[in-house]
Structure 1
């Protein structure tokens, strides 16, 4: 039996520890490295991941951890049960490197292939988004819900662009064009986890992006879903952690957004 209260408490503690590290390094980076042509990694990413992992391991030494920088560490010896933490220590590294306050750490807990806890923390705004499966979604302890917009032309959308656009630039531009013509407006913040949380609290009505990873989406997916949102791929298939394209809406404009994704 999983103690979700303890899982949530551990995840929040890890997120706050991460926030302390991120605030320390914000504007104080000695160097910025690349792990791809445009994909950045900093000491803040590494140190944040280290403190999150250590905080979790202190309570759950046998759980597996899938983290953006460290990959998958499998220590699960709990009688065949699958318990996995999915971590993005700094979602929005490019923003962080440019001292834009749109970044966060994202921590999800997955039991038997189901995400049951999600935590996203922006240490600059001190906004803590949390959700437990079937328990609703919260921002700093206050329950949140998605917007009530049901018309795409009155909806504010958000999107993101992958670091590697090889072979998909045309569909990216086509979908962007479709949405620009149909919606009230579009923003691009640079953090998929925050985009999903902003769907959850009604700041945005729809979000789409391609080439995402589990650590980008796992926590935000649960938070958006528990706030009443709908999360699928572009073909309207239910969310899975390994899917690399994602559409999240308030549910009311989902079918309209699906039509925008068709190219």
Structure 2
């Protein structure tokens, strides 16, 4: 597989899928919302977007596997696996709110080699290839130069179905409110990550995330010069369901606030 050969067709496919989402969003009928679980919503738009992506990506890279949110296709022991969230920020979309995004990452074994996020409403296409830097709409991007958390803006996500760590989560929230310029909750982890990559946020953290929420954004942050870890400071952030992504310069401060409270709250 030559990454250069599939990059532009992949970008085109993902943007086309995002434009489909935008068109459907203009006149979306909320009676067509389905509920997969507590506050876990889906619509025909998510499903059809994923079908478009799987069909197109399978043609670009025959024999590949898929880790996809809506289960359109599955992975087995393939060398290359696409990790797909066809509509990250579904709840935003269903309520007519930005941001929401298409997020697609490509794994070779367990290494991310390509990541693409298209933020639908802002028409911003982010991508990164392993070792090739990160880009937004064709322009090279990099993380913020801010080197103190006190001068930074943080992003996070709120629990929406698993509230077992709510008390600890609120303690961490309180600490960041006091230690930074503030926090934002946009409702799309993929967008939080790419906004960190281009310096709009100094950092982002969240738990109970799936691989398809973060795969593309992880590589984009890393290629933009940022740092990504789990809540222990380790590397189990793709499948480990917890992630901290920062500009690198404030990572130690962010990690200390989270690590000192999170694992104590878990009794570890």
TM bucket normalised to smaller: over 0.9
Q: Deviations over 1:1-32 (max 9, x none)?
A: x3011232232122122112201211322211
2:238 is matched with which residue: 237, 241, 247? 241
Q: Secondary structure at the match of 1:35?
A: strand
- Counterparts of 2:237 and 2:155 in 1: how far apart (Å)? 21
- List gaps (5 residues or longer) in structure 2: 262-268
Q: Provide the aligned C-alpha RMSD in A.
A: 1.4
Cα deviation for residue 238 of structure 1 reads 2.2
Q: Deviations over 1:180-203 (max 9, x none)?
A: 111111110000000000000000
Normalised to the residue count of structure 1, the TM-score between the two structures is 0.94
2:110 is matched with which residue: 95, 113, 127? 113
Q: Secondary structure at the match of 2:240?
A: coil
In structure 2, do the counterparts of structure 1 residues 75 and 62 end up closer, same or farther at CA, with 3 Å as the change threshold? farther
Correspondence 1:72-111 to 2 at 5 A:
73-74=74-75, 82-111=79-108
Structure 2 residue 2 is the aligned partner of structure 1 residue 3: yes
Normalised to the residue count of structure 2, the TM-score between the two structures is 0.92
Cα deviation for residue 60 of structure 1 reads 2.1
2:134–2:220 Cα contact (<8 Å) kept: yes
Corresponding residue number in structure 2 for 1:232: 229
- Counterparts of 1:18 and 1:140 in 2: how far apart (Å)? 16
2:210–2:241 Cα contact (<8 Å) kept: yes
Q: Number of paired residues?
A: 258
Structure 2 residue 268 is the aligned partner of structure 1 residue 260: no
Instruction: Give the stretch that moved more between structures: 101-110 or 58-67.
Output: 58-67
Structure 2 residue 51 is the aligned partner of structure 1 residue 54: no
- List gaps (5 residues or longer) in structure 1: none
2:51–2:72 Cα contact (<8 Å) kept: no
